[in-house]
């Protein structure tokens, strides 16, 4: 069950989560260096 669900969920999670994390990381750097 979980193995069949993972391939479908993985691409969505990786793209959206990494993008969100990257944006938040950039915002954090912006706050630190300004």
pLDDT at 6 over 80: no
User: For the chain, which residues make up each domain, given as ranges?
Assistant: 1-34
* CA separation for the pair 20, 12 (Å, rounded): 12
Give the model's pLDDT for residue 7: 59
Task: Give the helix, strand, coil percentages of the chain, each rounded to 5.
Answer: 95, 0, 5
Give the model's pLDDT for residue 15: 80
* CA separation for the pair 17, 11 (Å, rounded): 10
pLDDT at 1 over 70: no
List, for residues 8-25, the tens digit of each pLDDT value: 655 666 788 888 989 999
Give the model's pLDDT for residue 5: 53
Higher pLDDT, 4 or 24: 24
Give the model's pLDDT for residue 27: 93
């Amino acid at each position: 069950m979980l193995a069949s669900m993972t391939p479908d969920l993985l691409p969505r999670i990786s793209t959206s989560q990494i993008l969100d994390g990257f944006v938040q990381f950039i915002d954090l750097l912006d706050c630190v260096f300004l």
